[in-house]
Structures are given as C-alpha cells and as structure tokens.
C-alpha cells in the first residue's frame, strides 16, 4: 500500500496576504491570511477560542491571538524537525513530529521539548481536558500521557489481530474524547477504539485506503478521510462507519464539520465542501485548490467559516 510520507511538495502561486481570491462556486469566499515562501509548509492547525497554533516544516510554529486573523512565527524555532500534528486545550498546547519529537507550551511560557518515548515519526496528537494525551505515528506507534504531556509511555498493541502478521501500520490521526475514549485512524482503512486507556483495542473499520484525518463531533457525527477520495461518516459517536461517495480520487488530508451540517475537506489538488453532512459534495474552485495542497482545516471561533493551512506556509480563511 502506498505510504504518504514526504508527498507534500507542490507549487505556490505567490498571492499576497489579505487578498480575497474567489467566491468558490459563488458561495465560498476565500482570503489569504498569511503567505510564506515556496519552501515553507504547514501541516496542522488547532484553535481554542481566539488562541491558535499552526505547525509545519523546519519546526515552524505560528500563533494567533485573534481567532486566526493574524499570525506570528516564533523568532527562534525550538527545533528544525518537521512538526506534523498539533492540539490545544485551554492553556496547554502540544506539537509532535519527526523523530518522535514532542513540544509543549503552557500558557505564556516557552515551548519545551519532552521525551515522547520513541524515535518514530509522530503524525497526530490529541489532548482532553483531564490531561489524557495520545500521540500516534509511524510503524504502529501509540504514545500515551496522563499528565498533559509531561511524561509519556509507549503502548503495546498486538497488530497481528488487525492486519497481516508482521505488519506495523502507520497511524495518522487520533481523537481523545472528554470521557477518555481513544479513536485512531491509519493505514489499511483502520479505525480502532479503546475505552480503557489503551489496554484493549476494538476494530471499528478496515479497508483499502489509508485514513489520514479524523473528526468526531460532540453531537455524535464523525468523519474520517484519506486516500483515493475516501470519506467515512459516523452518526453514532464513531461506533459504526459508512463510506460516502465523493466523486474524487484525490488524497484527502484534513476534515472539519459543524453541527449545522457544513463539512470541509482539504486535499492534494482538490478541496471539498458539503452543506448537508456529506450527503452531497462540491469542489471549491477559483484559487489554487486544483494545483496545490492544504493539509488541515479547523473552524473559526465563531464557526462562520474555516481556516486551512498548507503549502508555502499559507493560511486561508474559507467562508464568511
């Protein structure tokens, strides 16, 4: 199966920050909030009210204090390693990436490196209000912290129970619920769940396409997206998953949805949107969506639109 490491290297169009680029299919205005250079890349974003963090190649960390309208980069990066996943709850921010790096920031303090317990690349991280954090990565890596990422342990999983014996699947995204339920997606269409802190795992889905991003809403609706235009939807808090036809073969990299039924999916050379929780889809057009990539997407503080990050260190606002 194709592995997706190192595929995000496409062109940039050099459009100035603040410019309104298009009204995608007449309904989706797009504005550039920040533009970097051709060699920069942002891979993940998290917002909690007006505070937010975006991370990317070369240890890039961008922060916002106004809900994403303006972004500032750290003057001196903590690391030169690529940061691939980020999450935040209240004052605590977490970032993970290459060589198992874990960075943590508490309030207005400095970003500090912690030992994640692995040298494997970490792709995603999730933290709940009780301080349970899970980071996932290459070759079946699952790292767990119960003290808001100050210390970590590597969880052991019997992968032979879920995939071909001897295989250690890459794990790309994770969601930790307020009640401690852990849901993970990865290669071979895997969706796994643990309700006991990672001691036991239940297989919820398996398929052909790698799943690269996951979202589970508080109202019970969830989406997982990945290779070959794959979109799965759940309406029962992630217990069961149903494939949805998207009429695209693009590699889908990020997903965000709101309780009103609006869904955005970022991708390689595509961008999808839905107004009815995925029952129907449209391709956003008019900017560089068809020729470049955006890796992650999240809601604005007012949920009137979304913010996406991707190639050339670019940050976009899509929607109102």
pLDDT of residue 286: 72
- Count of CB atoms within 10 A of residue 23's CB? 13
Over residues 146-157, the pLDDT tens digits come to: 999 999 999 999
pLDDT of residue 283: 94
CATH topology of domain 37-319: Methylamine Dehydrogenase; Chain H (2.130.10)
**Cα(233)–Cα(238) distance, integer angstroms:** 8
Domain ranges for the chain, please list them. 37-319
pLDDT of residue 120: 98
pLDDT of residue 213: 98
DSSP string for 21-68: EEEETTTEEEEEEE---TT-BEEEEEEETTEEEEEEGGG-EEEESSTT
**Cα(216)–Cα(296) distance, integer angstroms:** 15
Residue 106 pLDDT > 50, yes or no?
Answer: yes
- Are 202 and 157 a contacting pair, CB within 8 Å? no
**Cα(192)–Cα(148) distance, integer angstroms:** 22
Residue 297 pLDDT > 50, yes or no?
Answer: yes
- Are 190 and 206 a contacting pair, CB within 8 Å? yes
Q: In what order do the strands lie in the sheet with 51-56?
A: 42-48, 51-56, 61-64, 72-73
Residue of 225, 223, 221, 224 lying closest to 236 (CA atoms): 221
**Cα(248)–Cα(88) distance, integer angstroms:** 32
**Cα(181)–Cα(178) distance, integer angstroms:** 7
For residue 161, what are the contacts with CB-CB under 8 A and spacing of at least 6? 203
3-state secondary structure of 182: strand
Confidence of residue 27 (pLDDT cuts 50, 70, 90): low
pLDDT of residue 285: 86
| pLDDT, mean of residues 71-92 | 94
Confidence of residue 320 (pLDDT cuts 50, 70, 90): low
Q: Hey, what are 266's tokens?
A: 């970022």
Residue 122 pLDDT > 80, yes or no?
Answer: yes
DSSP string for 237-285: TTSS-EEE--S--S-EEEEEE-TTS-EEEEEBS-EEEESSTTSS-EE--
Residue 25 pLDDT > 70, yes or no?
Answer: no
Length of the chain: 320
Range in 18-32, 50-64, 95-109, 162-176 with the lowest mean pLDDT: 18-32
**Cα(217)–Cα(258) distance, integer angstroms:** 8
Query: Pairing relation of β-strands 282-283 and 20-24?
Result: unpaired
Over residues 264-286, the pLDDT tens digits come to: 999 999 999 999 999 999 999 87
| pLDDT, mean of residues 211-223 | 97
């Amino acid at each position: 199966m194709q592995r997706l490491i190192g595929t995000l290297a496409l062109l940039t169009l050099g459009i100035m920050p603040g410019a309104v680029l298009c009204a995608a299919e007449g309904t989706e205005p797009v504005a550039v909030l920040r533009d970097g250079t051709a060699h920069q890349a942002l891979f993940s974003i998290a917002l909690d009210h007006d505070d937010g963090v975006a991370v990317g190649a070369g240890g890039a960390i961008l922060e916002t204090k106004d809900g994403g309208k303006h972004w500032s980069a750290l003057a001196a990066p903590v690391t030169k390693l690529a940061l691939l996943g980020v999450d935040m709850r209240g004052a605590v921010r977490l970032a993970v990436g290459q060589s198992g790096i874990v960075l943590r920031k508490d309030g207005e303090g400095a970003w500090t490196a912690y030992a994640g317990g692995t040298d494997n690349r970490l792709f995603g991280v999730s933290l709940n209000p009780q301080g349970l954090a899970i980071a996932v990565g290459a070759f079946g890596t699952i790292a767990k912290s119960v003290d808001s990422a100050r210390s970590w342990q590597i969880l052991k999983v019997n992968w032979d129970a879920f995939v071909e014996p001897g295989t250690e699947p890459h794990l790309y995204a994770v969601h930790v619920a307020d009640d401690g339920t852990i849901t993970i997606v990865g290669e071979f269409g895997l969706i796994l769940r643990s309700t006991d802190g990672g001691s036991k795992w239940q297989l919820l889905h398996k398929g052909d396409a790698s799943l690269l991003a996951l979202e589970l809403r508080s109202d019970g609706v969830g989406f997982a997206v990945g290779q070959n235009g794959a979109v799965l939807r759940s309406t029962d808090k992630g217990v069961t998953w149903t494939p949805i036809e998207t009429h695209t073969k693009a590699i889908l990299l990020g997903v965000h949805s709101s309780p009103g039924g609006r869904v955005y999916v970022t991708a390689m050379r595509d961008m999808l949107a839905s107004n009815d929780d995925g029952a129907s889809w449209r391709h956003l057009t008019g900017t560089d969506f068809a020729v470049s990539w955006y890796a992650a997407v999240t809601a604005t503080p007012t949920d009137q639109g979304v913010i996406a990050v991707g190639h050339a260190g670019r940050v976009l606002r899509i929607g109102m």
